[in-house]
Chain A
Amino acid sequence: MKKGLLFIHAAALVILAFSPVDAAEKVIKMSTTTSTENSGLLDVLLPELEKDTGIKIKVFAKGTGAAIRDGTDGNVDIIFVHAKAREDKFVADGYGAYRLGVMHNDFVIVGPAADPAAIKGKKDATRALRMIAGKEAPFVSRGDDSGTHTKEQALWKASGIPLTTTSTEIVSKGKKKKLSFVYPGGLGKWYFSIGQGMGKTLTYAEEKQAYALTDRGTYLNYKFGREQGLDLDILCEGDSLLFNPYGIIPVNPKKYPHVKFDLADQFAKWLVSPRIQAMIARYQIQGHQAFYPDAVSDAK
């Protein structure tokens, strides 16, 4: 008798564990970048979304490359990333239904207070990078194919420093494909490409007292949001080249009929509505405005 009861309990537990409890609920999956998640903005927006529309979002934070890959594989319903050229390609290739510009923040170059390359106060980001490379001062790179890494590579290219390209050949869809990696030299000596997220890159740079390119939001959180603030300062900021736009892209239902396009579409439109745009503008990290809304010009 007892055994039978136990069995029923166990069976009930198993059924409970596998039953789609959220089948009736409105839940969508979103892949986004670690910087979006780390900024804390989603913690403010998502509860508001649920209140307004009843939509719940499961967030998977990773590098932009992996987030786009999730969309390309149809693993999520929507992606929220910052690498404009690659986002446009994602839509052009038919994986994304459309792209809406949501907001932007900016990148800054941070470094130790000692500032061995003397870049403090320089507005020109490419010049700052030239000075860092000239001094062979330690520089930590994301090196993870993320939006920030993409931006950093573009800046190195724009700086005019001779760059080294290494490539690895792999097979993709039966064809040979080259994966290239661009860097300004001194690999492992002064240029550290660590292949990790923004937070790790900042703590790594602090540890090595090195320069790094970071989004402002993550930096502010690490500098002022922790008990023991990051021992790095903003040394170069304000260059228009350091602009960092975020886009939201629902996965195309024509490519993947199983995605919840209606809900994803509703979320994307909600995100660019005037009220939410204003909310994004009001969002602060440690007393500083972190994001600038792009969809509504007069949202202040």
Chain B
Amino acid sequence: MEFLLDSLFSALLLLWSIDPELVEIVSVSLKVSSSSTIIASIVGVPAGLLIAFREFPGKRLLITTLNTLLALPTVVVGLFVYAFISRRGILGVLDLLYTQKAMIIGQVILIIPIITVFTISAISRIDERYRKTAMTLGADALQTAWVIIREARFAIVAAVIAAFGRVIAEVGISMMLGGNAKGFTRNMTTAMALEYDKGEFVLSVALGIVLLTVSFGLNIFFNYIQGRARV
């Protein structure tokens, strides 16, 4: 049990000394996960808006399917992408496997459903009266949509933050598609898994503490942006 206390001190020591290896690992995590969150948002938010605003046959089925995909195991995504980009797969010539790009592809697939579903629910939570008021004030369809998006923006940002939290904490995709190569595709979670495998529990938990610290810093930042947007 004493290794938990050791881990706390180790985390502080790693952060305090700005351990170069730690910086490397953290920057891989941040680079990969923020890229995938941005890409998934560019796809997921408009998709969510489109599904929320339009009525079409099979809409309920689509939403149910998306909800199911929230439970998508990272290993399944990893294997699915692996099948395509491995040297024996149809995209094998691109030499993508075990690169940061491969990690991003996998993570994007993982969180598009999260962003889409939460965008849909953010829109549908907006009171119907907003829509009616906008329309009675003479707004056209596009302007009405804009009013609703403005009202839903905090919930949409929350969806993006949740998606980021999912990818920065996931290990399956990073391990299978990134391959945990030191100084290249090793990120915080695969480093933790490795230190556990080596029996170096202290470093593993210390990295976990660093991960939470980094996430905390990012959330303070997001919170600041949300707060400013409110004014």
Q: Which residues of A contact B (CB under 8 A)?
A: 62-63, 65-66, 68-70, 72, 143-145, 166, 168-174, 176, 179, 181, 183, 187-188, 192-196, 204, 206-208, 228
Out of B179, B184, B198, which one reaches A63, CB within 8 Å?
Answer: B198
Number of A-B contacts defined by CB within 8 Å: 106
CB of B197 within 8 A of chain A?
Answer: yes
B67 CB-CB contact with A under 8 Å: no
On whether the beta carbons of B181 and A192 are closer than 8 Å, the reply is yes
Within the complex, which residue of A63, A65, A174 is in contact with B6, where a contact is CB–CB below 8 Å? A174
Q: How far is the CB of A115 from chain B (nearest CB, A)?
A: 18
Measured CA separation A206–B180 after assembly (Å): 16
A168→B14 contact, CB < 8 A = yes
- Which residues from B are CB-within-8-Å of A179? 200, 203
B104 at the interface (CB under 8 A from A): no
Given contacts A143-B182, A188-B182, A207-B97, contact A172 B199 (CB under 8 A): no
Q: How far is A215 from B201 in the complex, measured between Cα atoms in Å?
A: 27
In chain B, positions 10-53 with a C-beta closer than 8 Å to chain A are 10, 13-14, 17, 19-22
In the assembly, what is the distance between CA of A70 and CA of B2, in Å? Answer: 16
- CA A174 to CA B4, docked complex, whole Å: 11
Shortest CB–CB separation between residue B51 and chain A, in angstroms? 38
13 contacts between A and B (CB under 8 A): A66-B196, A143-B194, A144-B198, A166-B20, A169-B17, A171-B13, A172-B6, A192-B182, A195-B186, A195-B194, A195-B197, A196-B179, A196-B194
A181: B residues at CB distance < 8 A: 182
* A interface secondary structure, majority: mixed
Q: Are B181 and A188 within 8 A (Cβ)?
A: yes
Is the CB–CB distance between A194 and B10 below 8 Å? no
A188→B183 CA distance, assembly (Å): 5
With an 8 A cutoff between CB atoms, is B88 at the interface? yes
Q: Which residues of A contact B17 (CB under 8 A)?
A: 169
Q: Which residues of A contact B185 (CB under 8 A)?
A: 188
Q: Which of B2, B184, B199 contacts A65 (CB 8 A)?
A: B199
Question: Knowing A62-B197, A145-B198, A176-B13 touch, does A168 contact B184 (C-beta < 8 A)?
Answer: no
B57-112 with Cβ < 8 A to chain A? 86-88, 97-98
Q: Could you tell me if A170 and B203 are in contact, using CB atoms closer than 8 angstroms?
A: yes
Given A166-B20, A170-B10, do A144 and B202 touch, yes or no (CB 8 Å)?
no
**B86 touching A207 by the CB < 8 A rule?**
yes
Query: A208: which B residues are within 8 A, CB to CB?
Result: 98
CA distance A173 to B86 in the complex (A): 44
A-B contact sample (12 more), CB < 8 A, given A169-B14, A171-B13, A207-B86: A170-B6, A170-B200, A171-B6, A171-B10, A173-B2, A174-B9, A179-B203, A181-B182, A196-B175, A196-B179, A196-B180, A207-B98
The 10 closest A-B pairs by CB, nearest first: A69-B199, A188-B184, A195-B194, A170-B10, A188-B183, A171-B9, A193-B182, A187-B183, A145-B198, A65-B198
Contact B179 A204 (CB under 8 A): yes
**Contact indicator B180/A168 (Cβ below 8 Å):** no
